[in-house]
Amino acid sequence: MYYVTQGIQTPIMKIVITGSIAFDYLMHFPGKFSEAFMADQLDKISLSFLVDTMKKHPGGTAPNIAYTMALLGSHPKVMATAGQDFKEYRASLEAVGVDTSAIVAIEDDFTASFFVSTDDEQNQIATFYTGAMAHAKTLTFAQYAPDAELTIISPNDPDAMRNHAEECRKLGIPFIYDSSQQTARLSGEDLAASLQGAAMLTLNDYEYNLIKEKTGFSDSDIREQVGGLLVTKGKEGALLWMDGEEYHIPVVPPKEVKEPTGVGDAFRAGLMRGMELGLPWPIAGRMGALAATYVLEHVGTQNHTFTPSEFVARYREHFDDEGALDILL
């Protein structure tokens, strides 16, 4: 069995983020979907809903994580695939300091796109188009990021996630296995094989129970196979288990809650920035919690902004870092 538990808390220079790149198209239907369906004619549905608002948000787990890390002064490299409609998005990521040189544009396809219409009763009809994301399985660290010193394998095309984990084990690249929302889609076999030897496994509490159910692993089975574990629990905070120690990471109270999508990605970004700087686990974890709170206070996953000094000042309103965060200033 292969373990990568040592050495990831020394300052790391090259962080590589893998995961999906997507656009979210969010629409509102003024009315009730249920009134348009006829119970006796469900075998020939042909419906069109006239929506009155549409917002297009940049998203995808890889840019979400990279964006927040960049706000914290990092320059992570994203390794992922996008489509012909990615040009502007690439420029905006580069503008905040994300290294997009390993984002491969698939010219004859679109960036993965999530179309969701919500009606007046919060019912949703959604379609997710995989698009360029289906090509992510062709990317290799050997070709695009041979100098990676820490990577995260976040939700993406299932074959890409499997390939990335296998390659990391082969090349000895410490990796965070972040099956998160793809835990529902991946088979127990896939999950069991991919989490082997991960430096850390990251999930929310629902996904943590799901991975145990799908793999048949107990808590201790999982802890024997990974170097660390992050289980986030919404407003209850998070559990971080690293180097044999368990830490409870409290939440940072939000000023207002606008929309929770992307809080998990932001948590990972804050945590990884702390790792990159070699900060103690309780501090790195709290950086994750604070980054998540910023996302909670905004609609969309990349609409929050802060400077490193604003971030540190807000951190110090809630926690004592004993000066450790001066490194961000």
* Catalytic positions: 265
Half-sphere exposure of 153 (CA within 13 A, CB side): 35
Q: How far is the CB of 274 from ligand ATP (least distance, A)?
A: 14
263 binds, among Mg ion, ligand ATP, none (CB under 5 to 8 A by kind): ligand ATP
User: At closest approach, how far in Å is the CB of 7 from Mg ion?
Assistant: 27
Note the residues at the interface with ligand ATP (CB under 6 A): 180-181, 204, 232-235, 237-238, 251, 254, 257, 260-265, 267, 289, 292-293, 296
Q: Which does 227 bind (CB under 5 to 8 A by kind): Mg ion, ligand ATP, none?
A: none
In whole angstroms, the minimum distance from the beta carbon of 262 to Mg ion comes to: 8
Closest CA to 191 of 171, 220, 227, 216: 216
The CB-nearest residue to ligand ATP is 264
- Secondary structure class of 293 (helix, strand, coil): helix
Q: For residue 154, give the nearest of 262, 260, 252, 245 by alpha carbon.
A: 262
**Closer to ligand ATP by Cβ: residue 132 or 289:** 289
Q: Could you tell me the two tokens for 89?
A: 């998005």
Please, what's the b/e burial string for 97-132 (b: 16 or more CB within 10 A of its CB; e: otherwise)?
bbbbebbbbbeebbbbbbeebbbeeeeeeeeebebb
> Which partner in ligand ATP, Mg ion, none is near 318 (CB below 5 to 8 A by kind)?
none
CA-CA distances (angstroms) from residue 147 to 102, 137, 173?
Answer: 12, 19, 9
Query: Smaller CB distance to Mg ion: residue 73 or 234?
Result: 234
Q: Which listed option, ligand ATP, Mg ion, none, makes contact with residue 130 (CB within 5 to 8 Å by class)?
A: none
Ramachandran class of 177: left when φ > 0, alpha when ψ lies in -120 to 50, beta otherwise: beta
**Nearest approach, Cβ of residue 319 and ligand ATP (Å):** 13
CB atoms under 10 Å from CB of 257, counted, come to 12
Residue 154 beta carbon to Mg ion: minimum distance, rounded to whole angstroms = 9
Does 264 participate in binding Mg ion (rule CB under 5 A)? yes
Residue 74 interacting entry, from ligand ATP, Mg ion, none, C-beta within 5 to 8 Å by type: none
180 lies in the binding site for Mg ion (CB under 5 A):
yes
Closest separation between CB of residue 296 and ligand ATP, Å?
6
CA dist 89 and 95 (Å) reads 10
Instruction: Determine the angle formed by the axes of helices 281-296 and 61-71, rounding to 10 degrees.
Output: 110
Rounded to whole angstroms, how far apart are CA atoms 265 and 68? 9
Q: Which does 99 bind (CB under 5 to 8 A by kind): Mg ion, ligand ATP, none?
A: none
Binders of Mg ion among residues 7 to 66 (CB under 5 A) are none
Nearest residue relative to Mg ion (C-beta):
264
For residue 131, state whether it binds Mg ion (rule: CB under 5 A): no
155 is a site residue for Mg ion (CB under 5 A): no
The binding site for Mg ion (CB under 5 A) comprises 180, 264
